[in-house]
Structure 1
């Protein structure tokens, strides 16, 4: 199984002819959806879902499966999934977890958020929900108005995945990326590495 990192929060998982894309937002490259056979959307913010990109992918493949929480699924004409639900996305076994976006301040943004556990790979969207299921590969958010570095480190420590790769990082400068990497590389709870933009890793 191959995992490819695109800009910000978008990742692509390939296994043979199956291609699953998570959170193709406005900052991610259009080619992330090339040949996609299923798409998971964590929440409604445009850095996680680009409606035009989804429409373009559906124009190529009208049968493309798109999955999101119920209110967003209604808007996108997608398949609705609930927290705690396990389902098949073109043969990938997926469990939706969490349910709420991390708070910035005063209860805002106050929208739903689903994290997705895909055969051991965990993409939390904009939240730091710790699932009950074991996580082999954690995609840890690196930056955001709702996130502190300490919280990211504590998230990794709570999950203790075999490997960790950063996502949600478009707001960080080169110095900010290096600072985040330096802290996470010192964490004994996991093996940490940054995937270069457009680069891939093979997962066992």
Structure 2
């Protein structure tokens, strides 16, 4: 597979069976859904789910299918997405999307503040090789690539280090960093890259990495 960054938390994974796009949100590249055969959404926050863009992509491509938590499905169907191609997933579910295996893990968004309700959040293991945790610290040891969040109101850089250590991937690729300045990204890269214990590889939007 080929993993490509599309900014913030959005990536695509292209394999022999097609292309999966994960978390096409409002802070990601406008063309992130171009060429998508399947879409995975971790949760319904707008930086992970740009409802209008996703509904438009589903309308343009009759074969495109999407999976996400029930809250994501409800948001999309309320915006007139086709209900037969928007599938609710839950922790423990497994299926194939664009010819690639997908497993859903986790279940809850990381705590932003005790006074704020926690959203439903699914982590995804894709092709048995890539873990996208969404906004959570869900660990799945043994994957080749961990997409590790490094910036947001719900995490410290120490949390990112601990997630990399818990997963033990071959490569850690930082995501979820749109709230950081260039200096903040550099600081996160130095700390997570030096303490995580994995190869650390930042991808610029549009840049790709071979997986497997």
TM-score, normalization by structure 1? 0.95
Measure the CA separation in 1 of the matches of 2:162 and 2:11: 23
1:36-115 → structure 2 map (5 Å cutoff): 36-76=36-76, 77=83, 78-106=86-114, 108-115=116-123
Q: After TM superposition, where is structure 1 displaced by more than 6 Å over at least 4 residues in a row?
A: none
For the residue of structure 1 that corresponds to 2:39, the secondary structure is strand
Cα drift, residue 188 of structure 1: 5.8
Alignment counterpart, residue 165 of structure 1, candidates 156, 173, 178: 173
Cα drift, residue 160 of structure 1: 0.8
Cα drift, residue 72 of structure 1: 2.2
Contact 1:101/1:109 (<8 A) preserved: no
For the residue of structure 1 that corresponds to 2:204, the secondary structure is coil
Cα drift, residue 192 of structure 1: 0.6
Cα drift, residue 44 of structure 1: 0.6
Q: Does residue 197 of structure 2 align to residue 189 of structure 1?
A: yes
- Residue 33 (structure 1) aligns with: 33
For the residue of structure 2 that corresponds to 1:186, the secondary structure is helix
Alignment counterpart, residue 138 of structure 1, candidates 143, 146, 151: 146
Q: Does residue 106 of structure 2 align to residue 121 of structure 1?
A: no
Cα drift, residue 107 of structure 1: 5.0
Moved more, 144-153 or 64-73: 64-73
Over 3 Å counting, the alpha-carbon distance change for 1:35 and 1:166 in structure 2 is same
For the residue of structure 1 that corresponds to 2:47, the secondary structure is coil
Cα drift, residue 71 of structure 1: 3.1
- Residue 79 (structure 2) aligns with: none
Extract unaligned runs of 5+ from structure 1: none
Measure the CA separation in 1 of the matches of 2:158 and 2:185: 15
Measure the CA separation in 1 of the matches of 2:50 and 2:211: 27
Contact 2:7/2:204 (<8 A) preserved: no
